[in-house]
Structure formats: structure tokens, C-alpha cells
Amino acid sequence: MNAIMLVNENLSIQSLSKAESKQLQINCLTNYMKIQRLNEKTLNPYQLNPYYTIPHALLYDVQQTRQPLDYLLVHSYEAIQPFIKMYPARWILLKSFFHHTILIEGQSSAV
């Protein structure tokens, strides 16, 4: 099973700095992938990180590759909420490329 991580680098979690919050999200998502034995999927061979920080870039890469994808991993609803509110249609389109969308903090797939 393949997974793609989406990290919000502008989110501040529990009074942590943005850098600390970003690292917390990455650690949680990476641990979840290890526990669930998910493989990290790289869509764009030129991307610098093994995760995405820009939902628009992820949507573009998903549309370009047209590969079936298993999991989209997001730390929490708060991490994706700004994108959902500003671009609800794009969020629905992005989710349509994945079999499952998992919120790690809530362990829920209902987004």
C-alpha cells in the first residue's frame, strides 16, 4: 500500500512554533506509516521532500501521474481546514484520487 503525506507548514499546534509543529506533523505521519507498513509514494522525482506542503502541487502531480493511490495522510483536520474552506471543489477532486484519506490525530477517514 502506498501513502502520500500532506503537511501544513503554517499550522501552529498547541503553542509550538511553526517549525516545531511541522516537525511534529512529519513525525506523526511517518510513525503512522511505519506502524501500518505503508510505503512512501513519490509522484514527482524532482520534489525535495518526501511529503507535500502545498495541496495545489499535490493535486497537480496526482493529475499528471494518473496512478492509483491508496492513502492520503494528513495530521489533523486543522492542518487541511484552510484549504478545504478556500477550495472545497479542489479538495473533493484531490480526495477522489485516493482510496482513503486518513487524519492521523483523529484516526478517522471521514474528511
- pLDDT tens digits in sequence order for the chain, 111 residues long: 999 999 999 988 888 899 999 999 999 999 999 999 999 998 998 989 999 999 999 999 999 988 889 999 999 999 999 999 999 999 999 999 999 999 988 554 444
Which position has the grid cell 483523529? 106
pLDDT at 108: 44
The SS3 call for residue 99 is strand
Q: What is the pLDDT of residue 13?
A: 87
Q: In the numeric block, which cell numbers belong to residue 95? A: 480526495
CA 44, CA 103: separation in Å to the nearest integer?
Answer: 23
Quote the pLDDT of residue 90: 97
pTM of the predicted model over 0.75: yes
